[in-house]
Structure 1
Amino acid sequence: MTRKYLVTGAAGFIGMYTAKRLLEQGHEVVGLDNLNDYYEPELKSYRLNQLIPYENFTFVELDLANREGMAALFAAEKFDRVIHLAAQAGVRYSIENPFAYVDSNLVGMMTVLEGCRHNKVEHLIYASSSSVYGMNDKIPFAEEDQVDNPVSLYAATKKSNELMAHSYAKLYKLPVTGLRFFTVYGPAGRPDMAPWLFTEAILQDKPIKVFNHGKMMRDFTYIDDIVEGVVRIQDEAPTGSIPYNLFNIGNNEPIQLSRFIQAIEKATGKTADKIMLDMQPGDVERTYADSGRLEEAVGYKPETEIELGIERFVEWYKAYKENKEH
């Protein structure tokens, strides 16, 4: 059965791959993005160009914070399901530009919830983040852990999204599923993330900044694994008196920053010049997903090894840069 989807953040990293998978399955997808300049717009154009050739794809350039525009879009299109992946991303940038996070992540979540509520959307899936776990000492991080100590405004907005979604599920019986993503990486990933920054620097023989002296641990999750989780979970609309669900999507294997750097060195064939630094404000020392709940719900858990994922990213990065130069 084919359905009509709204995928927000369609020119974003996870949004593009999710939209592409749905299009390949024959569904109708309306992709929404405001194409902001938080990072290089050419990368967003590149991602959009992966979707434009599909006849069942429509692109809408619109800001989530535009209340009238969002209400009109929902009323006109009558989506069956909504996959809300758009957000102002980045922990460190939330310290420099806090209002961007309020507009995108709080007002934007509100316009999506209202659109779903008034237009009888059968299931809303939205992106939360592993950053909500903050300075959580208990590992691995499980969905039932307390998450009341965010260490960045970005994390606070994602925790707020979970509360907003839960209230709409309770008040309006809107089926909603939240997904806490753990450090997503892969081809066409964001330029402000470590895989891109480190690969670029190493290939250009520039030094890389290694925070917390390389003792950081991240549950790096490959993009294909994330998309598989999203696409499977969207068929599992929650039911009951409060139709709300929440899942971690992570690799269930934290990787030491030093191993991650070694994977890039191997893929690039070059040795990194490392500048060892202390922790940055807003950062957490480690992330570690308990993915048991997701596995139980859809019989799937991410498992791409970091070395393979990084090799694919570096291959893509080199080709992307080469194409840009010609």
Structure 2
Amino acid sequence: MKTYCVTGGAGFIGSHLCEQLLAQGHRVINIDNFNDVYDYKTKIRNILSSTGSVFPHLYSEDKPGDLAKLQTVVESDHYRLVVADIRSMDELDAVFDSEKIDAVIHLAAMAGVRPSIEDPLLYEDVNVKGTLHILEAMRKHGVRKWLCASSSSVYGNNKKVPFSEEDIVDFSISPYAATKKACEVLGHTFYHLHHIDTIMLRFFTVYGERQRPDLAIHKFVKMLDRGEELTMYGEGTTRRDYTYIGDIIAGILGALSYVEQKDRVYEVVNLGTNRTITLRDLIASLEQEIGTKALICTLPNQPGDVEQTYADVSKANRLFGYRPQTDFAEGIHKFVTWYRGNRHG
């Protein structure tokens, strides 16, 4: 049994990762600050779902609303929840002092392109300073293996497709993208100076069960389900490389195994599908799955939104056998099925 620290482990991707690490018999320390970007009870439900194998008596409960109580009741030999902020060095030191951590999977961040334009200082504070704190905690406590979530947004409006890890990514068009590029550079700095083996994972538009309620697919499904009007920015021609959560988790676990087996590793790796879907085709797929015609309000394109994302995943395949398995229609069906069984308000 190894001990893994997952930051943002109560979120969409993080809760799925914790679930798989627990299923493999490992110990998980989940650091999450339960910020107010969306209802914190969503994250509590994520924890109850992801720890069902460890705490079956909790899985059937609706939602304990007290985080202090939740920290106590989910404490076990295999799982520990720490409500803490990665911007607090003292809080991180307390965790790393009390645990022998084998590797860190750093997923915690302020996410979203458009909100980063409204509050770039917050994004710099959480994403850059918070990541630097994680790296400092690792350095001080002798943890030398980590994965960090980057983003396809670092490619900006790259004209060359599909996007390759060798492409120049110096032309971000949002503060969010700029913070993710900064994290990649910090990762290389600590690799070079302190021998912290690193893989930066550039995620491409992740969707699936437990997806954050503020993301497009979740919002659109909810609006279609309620007969509400959908907002479409532009003419619906923007394209995204939508990646199902199960494929992302397989990629993370593959990268984790790779970095644990190697010495002196720094890699930047795309995790996507090597396929793109237009916004109009996304809406059409949701209409077909739900059986409802969308009412669409068309607005101008938003600042910071890229025209397309399109991943070259050959490097991930070469390094650790990454091969996405879930086609878009299947992934959408799985998400809508999950949504219908988990409506909350």
* Range of TM-score over shorter length: over 0.9
Paired residue secondary structure (1:234): helix
Which residue is equivalent to 2:242?
220
Question: Does the aligned pair in 1 maintain the 2:89–2:137 contact within 8 Å?
Answer: no
The match for 2:154 among 118, 132, 136 is: 132
Stretches of structure 2 lacking an aligned partner (at least 5 in a row): 55-75
Q: Is the 8 A contact 1:71 1:111 kept in 2?
A: no
Identity %: 40
The answer to whether the 8 Å contact 1:124/1:176 transfers is yes
**Aligned residue number for residue 29 of structure 1:** 28
Query: Shift in Å at residue 149 of structure 1?
Result: 0.5
Equivalent AA in structure 2 for residue 109 of structure 1:
T
Conservation of the 8 A alpha-carbon contact between 1:215 and 1:257: yes
Measured after TM superposition, the shift of residue 283 of structure 1 is: 0.2
Residues 51-70 of structure 1: matches in 2 within 5 Å?
51-53=50-52, 54=54, 55=76, 56-70=78-92
> Secondary structure of 1:86's partner?
coil
Tell me the distance in 2 between the aligned counterparts of 1:130 and 1:170: 24
Query: In 2, are the aligned partners of 1:132 and 1:159 still within 8 Å (CA)?
Result: yes
**CA–CA distance in structure 2, aligned partners of residues 12 and 258 of structure 1:** 28
After superposition, residues 172-321 of structure 1 pair within 5 angstroms as 172-237=194-259, 239=262, 243-321=265-343
* Amino acid in structure 2 at the alignment position of 1:24: A
- C-alpha distance in 2 between matches for 1:258 and 1:137: 21
State how far apart, in whole Å, the 2-side matches of 1:145 and 1:209 are: 32
SS of the aligned residue for 1:307 comes to helix
Contact 1:134 1:284 in 2 (8 A): yes
Give the TM-score normalised by structure 1. 0.95
Deviation at residue 301 of structure 1 after TM alignment? 1.6
229-238 or 31-40, which deviates more: 229-238
Following TM superposition, by how much is the alpha carbon of 1:135 offset from its aligned partner in structure 2, in angstroms? 1.3
Alignment of 1:161-176 (within 5 A): 161-176=183-198
Deviations 1:196-252 (A, max 9, x none): 111111111111111121101000000000000001110112856x52111000011
Residue pair 1:260, 1:306 contacting (<8 A) in 2 also: no
Mapped to 1, the partners of 2:39 and 2:340 lie a distance apart of 16
Structure 1 distance, partners of 2:115, 2:299, is 19
Corresponding residue SS for 1:287 = coil
User: SS at 2:185's partner residue?
Assistant: helix
Q: Confirm whether residue 81 of structure 1 aligns to residue 107 of structure 2.
A: no
Measure, in 2, the Cα distance between the counterparts of 1:313 and 1:232. Answer: 23
Partner-residue secondary structure (3-state), 2:309: coil
Q: 1:72 Cα shift?
A: 2.1
Q: Which 5+ residue runs of structure 1 have no aligned equivalent?
A: none
2:252 is paired with a residue whose SS is helix
In the TM superposition, what whole-angstrom CA distance separates every residue of 1:182-209 from its partner, at most 9, and x where no partner exists? Answer: 0000011011111111111111111111
**Alpha-carbon distance, 1:306 to partner:** 1.2
Answer whether contact 2:144 2:195 (CA < 8 A) is retained: no
> 1:98, 1:42 → 2: CA distance?
26
Residue 148 (structure 1) shift:
0.4
> 4+ residue stretches of structure 1 with deviation over 4 A?
none
- Cα deviation for residue 52 of structure 1 reads 4.2
Task: Answer whether contact 1:170 1:243 (CA < 8 A) is retained.
Answer: no
Give the residue type in structure 1 aligned to 2:33: N
Alpha-carbon contact 1:125-1:178 (below 8 Å) kept: yes
Residue-by-residue CA offset, 1:3-45 (whole Å, 9 max, x unaligned): 0000000111110000110000000001110000101222111
Report how far residue 82 of structure 1 moved.
0.6
Q: In 2, are the aligned partners of 1:217 and 1:256 still within 8 Å (CA)?
A: yes
Q: Distance in 1 between matches of 2:163 and 2:222?
A: 31
Q: Which amino acid aligns with 1:51?
A: S
| CA distance in 1 between partners of 2:340 and 2:119 (Å) | 31
- Structure 2 residue 167 is the aligned partner of structure 1 residue 145: yes
Q: Which residue of 2 aligns with 1:45?
A: 44
d(CA) in 2 for partners of 1:36, 1:30: 18
Preserved contact between residue 9 and residue 84 of structure 1 (Cα < 8 Å)? yes
Structure 1 residue matching 2:43: 3-state secondary structure: helix
Map 1:99-114 → 2, pairs under 5 A: 99-114=121-136
**Root-mean-square deviation (Å):** 1.3
In the alignment, the residues of structure 1 paired with residue 262 and residue 189 of structure 2 have an alpha-carbon distance, to the nearest angstrom, of 15
Q: Distance in 1 between matches of 2:37 and 2:110?
A: 8
SS in 2 for 1:83: strand
